[in-house]
A = this chain, B = another copy of it.
Amino acid sequence: MAGLGLRMPTNHSFVQRAKLFEGLDAASLDTILAAATPRRVPKGGALFEQGDKPCWLALITEGRIKIGHVAPDGRTLAVGFLGPGEIAGCTAVFQRVPYLATARAIEDSGVLTWWIEEVEALVERYPKMATNAVRIVGARADAMLRRLQQLSTESVEQRIARALLRLASEAGRPVKGGVQVDFVLSRQDLAELSGATLYTVSRTLNVWQKDGVVECGRQRVVVRDFDRLAQLAEGVLTLAAQPP
């Protein structure tokens, strides 16, 4: 806690805004913040690894964390990308089961962490946190169910469109002529998010680019036409290989 200097107020505001601490008064928030350890995670570093027993909860203050799950056969599924204000590790920590995914920084990041013992003590002291946790975990379960539904009924093109739409709205930065996903995003990442191969993602993106829906470069995607991307996601529109 000592030596944080100017960063303290910033951390305070993150804690204040986090859904997990919603409804708590200023004094409680102070106590909670006092129990946190700030950490830096370099690009490529892991916050926790799939299979590790749960040791801490992390509130992201800066940077971007990729949550990924790898199957026994080595194939990877991207669960999501988390940014400032979001919490990583909560399903594992609150359930006291091993992390079911790996959290890795895709750029230099900063987080606040709470040891699992502290989390449990805090929950005991502030029961409101438990009900907040149910909502957070529940929302995650809902999101999974929706993805499951989409994966089993929709085409790859639709799923890629949905993934992009979500990224652009959650982590979009306005640039001239569109909205850019605000972190490095490879074709491989998009493939892992949408349950496709990087080849199919590449082809699809190029077709869309020719039609002006997106503009893309090396590890970078700009959404140019939200409406048409939404239509692609709904399956109303298809651009993926029509005969000449």
Give chain A's interface residues, CB within 8 Å of chain B: 69, 71, 73, 75, 77, 79, 91-92, 94-97, 100-101, 123, 127, 130-131, 133-135, 137-142, 144-153, 195, 235
Contact = CB atoms under 8 A, between A and B. Distances in A.
Contacts of A101: 145
A94 B134 contact: yes
Nearest to A144: B144
A134 B100 CA distance: 16
27 contacts: A69-B149, A71-B149, A71-B150, A71-B153, A77-B149, A79-B145, A91-B138, A91-B141, A92-B138, A94-B131, A95-B134, A95-B135, A95-B138, A96-B135, A101-B145, A123-B131, A130-B130, A130-B131, A130-B133, A133-B134, A137-B137, A137-B138, A140-B141, A141-B141, A141-B144, A144-B145, A151-B195
Contacts of A131: 94, 123, 130
A142 to B, nearest CB: 6
Given A77-B148, A147-B148, 20 more contacts: A69-B145, A79-B145, A91-B138, A92-B138, A94-B131, A95-B134, A95-B139, A100-B145, A100-B146, A101-B145, A123-B131, A130-B130, A130-B134, A133-B134, A140-B141, A141-B141, A148-B148, A151-B151, A151-B152, A151-B195
Given A127-B130, A130-B127, A145-B144, A75 B138 contact: no
Nearest to A140: B141
Contacts of A79: 145
The 6 closest A-B pairs by CB, nearest first: A130-B130, A144-B144, A152-B195, A95-B138, A141-B141, A127-B127
A129 to B, nearest CB: 9
Contact of A153 (B77, B95, B137, B235): B77
Contacts of A148: 77, 144, 147-148, 151
Contact of A137 (B75, B123, B134): B134
A96 B135 CA distance: 8
A151 B77 CA distance: 10
A149 B147 CA distance: 11
